């Protein structure tokens, strides 16, 4: 299952999926000191 490689085109296709959006922000925990989503992504 781990014996594969991706072509340059496949890597570009995967990178194109990134829209810099979080779908689950868990805002009910946003005041918690260990809440990780204040960081830029």
For residue range 1-41, list pLDDT tens digits in order: 789 999 999 999 999 998 877 778 788 888 998 888 777 66
pLDDT at 11 (0 to 100): 96
Asked if residue 11 lies in contact with residue 18, where contact means CB atoms within 8 angstroms, the answer is: no
Q: What is the pLDDT of residue 27?
A: 84
pLDDT of residue 41: 60
Please report the pLDDT score of residue 5 as a whole number: 94
Task: Say what the pLDDT of residue 37 is.
Answer: 78
User: What is the four-CA torsion angle of 34, 37, 38, 41, rounded to 10 degrees?
Assistant: 140
């Amino acid at each position: 299952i781990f014996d594969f490689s991706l072509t340059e085109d496949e890597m570009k296709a995967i990178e194109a999926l990134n829209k810099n959006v979080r779908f689950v922000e868990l805002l009910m925990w946003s005041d918690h000191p260990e809440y990780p989503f204040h960081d830029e992504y």
